[in-house]
Structure formats: C-alpha cells, structure tokens
Amino acid sequence: MSTTDFETVPGKVLTDIVVPACAPWSGVVKAGQVLRLVDLEGQQAIDFLCFNNDDRTERYHMPNTIKIPGNIFLDKGSILRSQLARPMMTIVADTCGRHDTIFGCCSFAVDEIRYGKTNPECCQRNFERELATHDLGPEHVVANANFFMSVPVAANGAAQIVASHSKPGDFVDLRAEMDILAVLSNCPEALNAATGDAGPTPIRAIIYQSN
C-alpha cells in the first residue's frame, strides 16, 4: 500500500503498519518524530493513549488536554497534555477534525449495561493486553482520546456517539514533544456508530521523521 493512497508523508518513513480491525498496536515515537494515523475506509474510531517513554508514570491526561485550551474537541493545533500539564503530542496535520476527548473506551461491562450484549472484543481489553507487553497494568487505562469518533455535546450537556464524518484516507499527524510510547486500540465497537455502518475496519499507523 503506497503512501500516495492518501497523501505523501512529508519525511522519512520509519514504521508503516496496517492495524487489523479490532486489534491493538503500540510503538515508540521519538521527540520530533510524527505518528500518522490513517482511517483507511472511513468512520473508524481509534482509541488512543500515550506515555512518557522515559517515565511511564507520566501519561495522557484528558482534563488538562481540555481545560488549558478550553475545548473538548481535538483538531490541528491541539496539544495532548500529561497530568503534569506538559505537552506530549501536538496535532500538526488533520484532515478530519473534531476528534473526541470525553467518551473514553468501550468495555464489555459498559456495553452490557448500554445494549444488553457485548462485542467479541473491546478497547478496554485491547488496551490491557497491549499495555501488558510494556509491563503496564490495567490501572494505566485512563480516559483516552478517540480519533475519528464524533461525540457532539448539546447545550444541556447531552452527548452521544454519532456517525463520524471521517472519509477513507483521512489522517491525523501527531508530533511527539518528548519520547512517547503510543498505544492504541482500533475500535471493535459495532453496537453504536463508532465504527460506521460497515463495522470495524483496518487503520494504518506510520511513524516518520519530518523533513
């Protein structure tokens, strides 16, 4: 699969992998390198966590990411911050916009309550399995970012997952501001609109050194 399928990567490609539907993935992104996440077929949510790779007690923190800019959505220019309020990753390119910060990940327990049934897999378990490969436990599954997932919030506070406006080939570029361990779950949720009408589909993760 060529990078020209969606847009030429502006730098030297270091890692290029297609993450299967419903699967987790992780990788180290050095400071200054960029992680590109590509929604290959459109409307596919990517649940995302990141950690300081030199001190993994420092990790993505949803409240700081929201309250410093005063915005619940992520798009170009947004900064993912840690619990120490330090910049971890900056969105330097984004063809979709309005990515979710508030709804966290799907789990068997929550889906059983919401829908009375579950999917064969869930992001909670994907995160736990992938984090275990880095000697991190379930307690490190905190409120995560959701790229390509749409959660509009009404004036009265009502919120729900709706069909994403992401199109095949849409991508988001995240520049690492420190050495980062990035961990994601290619969302397996088929009981709501997180994965569109077609259900879970593959995504692509590229790490590149920008020019």
3-state secondary structure of 126: helix
Q: Does residue 88 register a pLDDT over 50?
A: yes
| pLDDT band at residue 8 under the 50/70/90 scheme | confident
What would you report as the CA-atom Rg of the chain, rounded to the nearest whole angstrom?
Answer: 16
Distances (CA, A) of 210 to 48, 81, 150, 172, 191: 22, 21, 29, 14, 38
Q: Can you tell me the distance from the alpha carbon of 64 to that of 192, in angstroms, rounded to the nearest whole number?
A: 28
Cβ atoms 175, 32 nearer than 8 A = yes
What mean pLDDT is reported for the chain? 95
Q: How far is CA 120 from the centre of its chain?
A: 20
Residue 19: partners with Cβ closer than 8 Å, 6 or more residues away: 25, 184, 186, 202, 203, 204, 205
State mean pLDDT over 173-201: 97
The neighbour count for residue 21, using CB atoms within 10 Å, is 19
- Write the pLDDT tens digit of every residue in 110-123: 999 999 999 999 99
Burial 179-211 (b: 16+ CB within 10 A, else e): bbbbbbbbbbbbbbbbbbeebbbbbbbbbbeee
Report residue 3's pLDDT band, with 50, 70 and 90 as the boundaries.
Answer: very low
Tokens 């593959």 — which residue? 202
* 89-142 per-position pLDDT tens digit: 999 999 999 999 999 999 999 999 999 999 999 999 999 999 999 999 999 999
The pair of three-digit structure tokens given for residue 162, joined into one six-digit string: 């709706």
Provide the 3-class DSSP secondary structure of residue 129: helix
